[in-house]
Chains A and B, each alone.
Chain A
Amino acid sequence: MVKKHSDIAFSEAPVRVSEWRRFRRVFFERRLVTFGLVVLVLMLIAAIFAPLLAPYDPYELGPGERLLQPSSKHLLGTDLLGRDTLSRLIYGARTALMVGFISVFISGIIGIPLGVIAGYFGGITNMVIMRAMDALMCFPMLLLALVLAAVLREYAISGIWVVIIALSVAVIPGYARVTHGVTLSIKENDYILAQRAMGSSNMRVMFRHILPNAFPPLIVLMTMQLGALILAEAGLSFLGIGIDPPGAAWGAMVFDGYKYLASNPVLWLAPGIAIALVVFAFNTVGDGLRDALDPRLRGLL
């Protein structure tokens, strides 16, 4: 038998471990996480297929049908202007998700690279960037949003974009900080040193090697941020900034409905429960993701 020099390595390939199987197992371990995922999927379906699912046009006024209680014709009743609450709820999902995803995207695109650059270069770069982030974090989110909203109105930007920009700016430091911390620990690994020894450019190291390894905590952060952002959007709409009427937004619906606290409780209960449920869902799914990706992050995120 001719013995090839590589005989040794050929026979000893370890069994291909299924990362997916392990991930799925840990993720679905808790019923709560599965429940959260179901809620999110439902919300996604509602948002995407809103025109098909909503029984009525959410903007259609029904002067003769104001403030009706839930009935077979209007499952959740109607509001002050005669609009069907259920339809507005479904379209509200669209608004909420849009705000959530776009804000997360924008703040991520800005905050994550800032964090990587600060963590990688250290020194003055790090100081400048992180202190800027600290400064931004000093402002309470809602206050910042109010100020930005006022400023943006000067430039005739209003409505949903005010909310999105305000929220994005407020959340950028969160991404920068987490990324910065993760970058610091990834930087210590030998494979980063190997890159330098090979002659990799800084860009290559940061974006081809550090960033991909920083994803697990970032994905968890993003998921949890989505919940927080939707809540914030609701808060802003409630305060009157943000989605202008007649836009359907859950926060605005609660604002409208709380005047009818006792008489038409569905008006504020429906959107309120929707908000609570969705935020809860995002949080539990975020937890599940964190545990499945890296349980060592418990306590950190």
Chain B
Amino acid sequence: MPSTPGSEAYSSDEEKSMAELLKVENLKTQFHTESGVVKAVDGVSYYIDEQEIIGLVGESGCGKSVSQLSVMQLISTPGKIVGGEVIFEGQDLLKYKTHGPKMRSIRGAKIAMIFQEPMTSLNPVLTINQQLTEMLELHLKMSKKAARERAIELLGMVGIPSAHNRIDDYPHQFSGGMRQRVMIAMALSCNPRIVIADEPTTALDVTTQAQLLELMKDMVERFKASLVIVTHNLGVVARYAQRIYIMYAGRIVEAGTTKDIFGKPRHPYTIGLLKCIPRLDEEEDRKLVPIKGLPPNLINMPPTCAFLPRCSYKIKKCSQKPWPPLTRLHGQHYVGCYVNTEEMRNEPAAR
């Protein structure tokens, strides 16, 4: 059983490695807290192709942010990456020392990250110029003058008006939306292959969110990079992502193209999510169907499926067997569930 969904869609190993930019295999990250071990990421495998936009979707605590921080080796005590491989450009990144030169040359330069909080992601005591050029000088070995030119150019690209005037401003002189644009400029400054955006617009207004997501999409196309959008907002991934991974309790429970996931969702959690969010275009008297219960406690998880207590499709097998592995449905659509939810479409109401 292949562990990476979709990887056997390619006919030969060579073709496979040519297309896949990043391949994460069975990643495991744990946090040691006073109450116990939190298995934040518990065997996550996915891949990213060149020039594509993927979505990593889940609610708080599902492990989506931690998994990306693990890829960048930005996890610190009490967290620890305890297993798995992150293959990028033919090398396993996890084999590099966390603070070593090889990993540092990847971060920012080859794989860049945009964080959620525009207020705290920028250093308040440095000018925008200093923060942008720092990366250019470090990774691309540009001279101060050339770096400044490039920085102004980048600020213009992300839509900051009068960039040559504003380049010497401090972060507090920019609004939240502007700061996030600066973050986008910083992320793209060294022409990374992958940009990871971790809840990039949750803290912003709706119209600003729309502007920035469009900008990210355009930039990523222009720079021929791939984009990972980590979010809990299904609408955002419906609009922008080509493939989606749904995460729950530290694992991927469903994976597929956007149309697969929204058109034919198979995992009870995915189905539940889609039924419980209000939509602008819904019928007037549509009733939301909440997912009963609470998000799981990641300490002392039982070996069975983590979604079991909240599932309306469960069968006897679910409480007897361990967490279901991802199985392929067709094409790139994978689901980790023992139940054929398609057949049971109308039954859960009776349970």
| Residues in chain A near residue B297, CB distance under 8 A | 14
Residue in chain A with minimal CB distance to B309: A11
What is the size category of the interface that chain B forms with chain A?
Answer: under 10
Collect the chain B residues with CB atoms within 8 Å of residue A25's CB.
34
Q: Nearest CB to that of A26 among chain B residues? A: B34
Q: Whole-angstrom distance from the CB of A19 to the nearest CB of chain B?
A: 13
Report how far A168 CA is from B293 CA in the complex, Å.
55
Residues in B275-334 with C-beta less than 8 Å from chain A = 290, 292-294, 297, 309
Q: Complex: how many Å from CA A25 to CA B34?
A: 11
Report chain B residues within 8 Å CB of A14. 294, 297
Residues of B within 8 A of A22 (CB): 34
Q: Which residues of B contact A8 (CB under 8 A)?
A: 290, 292-293
User: How far does the Cβ of B294 sit from chain A's closest Cβ, in whole Å?
Assistant: 4
Contacts of B292 in A (CB 8 A): 7-8
Residues of chain B within 8 A (CB-CB) of A190 are: none
A12 at the binding interface (Cβ < 8 Å): yes
CA distance A249 to B76 in the complex (A): 54
Please, which residue of chain A has its CB at the minimum distance from the CB of B295? Answer: A12
From A11, which residue of chain B is reached at the shortest CB distance? Answer: B293
* Smallest CB separation, B117 vs chain A (Å): 20
C-alpha gap A25/B297 in the complex (Å): 23
Q: Complex: how many Å from CA A185 to CA B34?
A: 29
Bound-state CA distance A25–B294 (Å) is 29
Interface positions of A from 1 to 32, Cβ below 8 Å from B? 7-8, 11-12, 14, 22, 25
Nearest residue, chain A, Cβ from B294: A12
> Nearest Cβ distance between residue A101 and chain B, in whole angstroms?
35
Cα A7 to Cα B310 with chains together (Å): 12
| Nearest CB of chain A from residue B229's CB, rounded to whole Å | 30
Chain A residues positioned under 8 Å from B293 (CB to CB): 8, 11-12
Q: How far apart are B71's CB and chain A's nearest CB, in angstroms?
A: 31
How far does the alpha carbon of A14 sit from the alpha carbon of B299 in the complex, in Å? 13
Q: Please measure, in the bound complex, the distance between the C-alpha atom of A12 and the C-alpha atom of B290, giving whole angstroms.
A: 15
CA distance A11 to B309 in the complex (A): 10
Give B297 Cβ to nearest chain A Cβ, in Å. 8
Distance in angstroms from A7 CB to nearest chain B CB is: 7
Nearest A residue to B293 via CB reads A12
Give the distance to chain B from A217, nearest Cβ to Cβ, in Å. Answer: 23
B272 → A minimal CB distance (Å)? 13
Residues of chain A within 8 A (CB-CB) of B309 are: 11
Beyond A14-B294, A14-B297, A22-B34, 9 additional contacts (C-beta under 8 Å) are A7-B292, A8-B290, A8-B292, A8-B293, A11-B293, A11-B309, A12-B293, A12-B294, A25-B34
- Residue pairs across A and B with Cβ atoms less than 8 A apart, 12 shown, are A7-B292, A8-B290, A8-B292, A8-B293, A11-B293, A11-B309, A12-B293, A12-B294, A14-B294, A14-B297, A22-B34, A25-B34
> Footprint of B on A, CB under 8 Å?
7-8, 11-12, 14, 22, 25
- For the complex of A and B, list the 5 residue pairs with the smallest distance between their C-beta atoms, beginning with the closest: A12-B294, A8-B292, A12-B293, A11-B293, A8-B293
